């Protein structure tokens, strides 16, 4: 089973920040938090990952709480193309381990 | 564009038949994994190959088997197809085992079993 809990769906207005929460209260010290998204009928796409510190790349920012029991993915300026299912996944990042996908959060961005 | 290509994109089979799905990994990626995604669900891990050997398997029966070739391309074979095997099958590759875990997914092969 997935080690994470995410809301089923969220809405966001185009141009606004989308903040997607994820709970992972049983995370271990050597487990990373990964985010992927899946646009309809496409394969999942890697977004970002982190261990303890906040991370930012060209797509998004990842904020991890100090106790590491939850995190938030931030899309700073959502566009219609960001409408997708977003998956938060916890894994030991440096082993060849499988990704355990939950049902994710369906983000709907509207104009 | 991830550089991971899968074929065929769509196919229809009947119960009891066998199917082979193919995946061409991104150059330099020597680890490949396969996932099954039923409608409305997240992808489920089937197995992973590294250097032509299976080195991880999810909760799938032996009729799901695979191969990885020296050029790092891969096949997923499913025997004795059942209706519940209808799904999107995703191939994903990654650089050297031991990297930080980012996977590059293909667009998938959609299998319908009638």
CA A36/CA A34 separation, integer angstroms:
7
Instruction: Write out B13-76 in H/E/C secondary structure.
Output: ECCCCCEEEEEECCCCCCEEEEEEECCCCCCEEEEEEECCEEEEECCCCCCEEEEECCCCCEEE
Q: Tokens 């994109």 correspond to what residue? A: B9
Mean pLDDT of B46-70: 92
Chain A residues inside the 8 Å CB shell of B92: 43-44
- How far is residue A26 from each of residues A30, B25, B30, measured CA to CA in Å? 12, 34, 31
What's the rounded mean pLDDT across residues B6-21? 98
pLDDT score recorded for residue A28: 87
pLDDT in the model for residue B78: 98
Model pLDDT for residues A17-29, shown as the tens digit of each residue: 999 999 999 998 8
Number of C-alpha atoms within 13 angstroms, CB side, residue B7?
A: 3
**Å between B2 CA and nearest CA of chain A:** 9
pLDDT reported for residue B26? 76
Residue A94 has pLDDT above 60, yes or no: no
Mean predicted lDDT score pLDDT of chain B: 91
Q: Which of A37-46, A68-77, B11-20 is the least confident region?
A: A37-46
Angstrom distances, CA of residue B65 to CA of B16, B77, B99: 16, 5, 25
Q: How many CB atoms lie within 10 A of CB B75?
A: 17
CB contact under 8 A, A93 and B101: yes
How far is it, in rounded angstroms, from Cα B44 to Cα B60?
10
Are A32 and B100 within 8 A, CB to CB?
yes
pLDDT of residue B57: 92
Q: Over 60: is that where the pLDDT of B98 sits?
A: no
Of all residues in chain A, the percent with pLDDT exceeding 70 is: 94
More confident call, B45 vs B98: B45
A94:B101 CB<8 A: yes
B68: pLDDT strictly greater than 60: yes
CB < 8 Å to A44, chain B: 43, 90, 92, 103, 105
* Closest to A21 measured CA to CA, from A67, A59, A53, A69: A69
Share of chain B above pLDDT 70, in %: 94
């Amino acid at each position: 089973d997935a080690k994470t809990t995410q809301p089923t769906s969220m809405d966001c207005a185009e141009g606004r920040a989308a903040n997607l929460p994820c709970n992972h209260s049983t995370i271990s010290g050597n487990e990373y938090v990964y985010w992927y998204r899946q646009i309809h009928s496409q394969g999942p796409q890697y977004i970002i990952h982190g261990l303890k510190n906040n991370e930012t790349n060209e797509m998004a920012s990842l904020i991890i709480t100090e106790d590491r029991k939850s995190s938030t993915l931030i899309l700073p300026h959502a566009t219609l193309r960001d409408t997708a299912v977003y998956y938060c996944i916890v894994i030991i990042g440096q082993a060849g381990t499988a990704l355990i996908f939950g049902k994710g959060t369906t983000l709907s961005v509207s104009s | 564009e991830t550089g991971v290509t899968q074929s065929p994109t769509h196919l229809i089979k009947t119960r009891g038949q066998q199917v082979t799905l193919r995946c061409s990994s991104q150059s330099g990626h020597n680890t490949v994994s396969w996932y099954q995604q039923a409608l409305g669900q997240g992808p489920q891990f089937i197995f992973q190959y590294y250097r032509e050997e299976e080195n991880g398997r999810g909760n799938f029966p032996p009729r799901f088997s695979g191969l990885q070739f020296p050029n790092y391309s891969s096949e997923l074979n499913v025997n004795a197809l059942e209706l519940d095997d209808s799904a999107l099958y995703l191939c994903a590759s990654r650089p050297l085992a031991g990297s930080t875990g980012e996977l590059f997914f293909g667009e998938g092969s959609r299998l319908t079993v009638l």
